[in-house]
Amino acid sequence: MSTEREHRQCVIIGSGPAGYTAAIYAARAELKPLMYEGMQPGGQLTITTEVDNFPGYPEGVTGPVIMEDLKKQAERFGTEMRFGNIANADFSKRPFLLVDDDDKEILAETVIIATGASAKWLGIPSEQEYNGYGVSACATCDGYFYRDKVVAVVGGGDTAAEEATYLSKLVKKVYLIHRRDELRASKAMQQKVFNTEKIEMVWDSGIKEIVGEQKGFAKAVTGVIVENLKSGEERRIDLDGVFIAIGHKPNTDIFKGQVELFENGYIKTVPGSTKTNIDGVFACGDVQDQTYRQAVTAAGSGCMAAIDAERFISSNE
């Protein structure tokens, strides 16, 4: 392992709305932040097509454009960007020791974790083929584009029930496809689903294939092939969009055993702040947000993390 070490006031692990906003604020506070962007700079929004609910874009915008704008703004104030990951982190003492995937060692006075969360997918090829062209993992992000259309939601927990209920207010019909014969969602959420006429349950079933067609330069979902897992019977359901709601996995593996996590892997932060259980380590965005998971809330928490980091450094000088 390399013995070369550099010393930094603030290292931001991960990009996306949270990381880039943290970088903007940290750079303006003269912390000279170093950001590791990960292997997917910009995070989940880079695989999102149209975004209509991010403030400041009255005509709508694509996810990659938002991320590029935020990145340029962070760089304008002096953030240093590096492509790649932090492979190991030692938070046992300050300055914290970080090792990247090129074995470069960095000593950091503060660390902002903005590694986000990854949507869980079904794992079928057609799902990736139509991702962003009728396949989504966020109803509140993309539901607006399916007004008066027919969609499916896949899943059986609270997230799936919430997304199906939310979409039912916008669309013509929602098929809620679940692998079992009863929902795992809370009783209250189940009642909402069962009391909503626009939602039709498709029990004991999974999606075998998502089908679509080429429309000009883009693709469009036109239906799904659903398999009954008990009988093996297959049928096609014609629809316009598929929302995968089988959960998210926070990207926290390298922090296990150091930063306090919830059982599902999300980072615990002090309410009303981005502080973790380790002084000088902060977490923002989807890596600690199990509730909202929106670009704008991630950006807001990135702002909070940078302010928390700046105040921490000031109080320890």
Q: So which residues are the catalytic ones?
A: 138, 141-142
Residue for token pair 């700079």: 41
Going along the chain, which residue ranges are E strands? Answer: 5-13, 34-36, 50-51, 61-62, 80-82, 86-90, 96-100, 105-113, 117-119, 135-136, 150-154, 173-177, 199-202, 205-215, 218-228, 234-238, 241-244, 248-250, 281-283
How far is 35 from 40, CA to CA, in rounded Å?
A: 13
Classify the C-alpha dihedral 17-278-263-192 as positive or negative.
negative
**Residue type (1 letter), 1:** M
Q: Are strands 80-82 and 50-51 parallel, antiparallel or unpaired?
A: unpaired
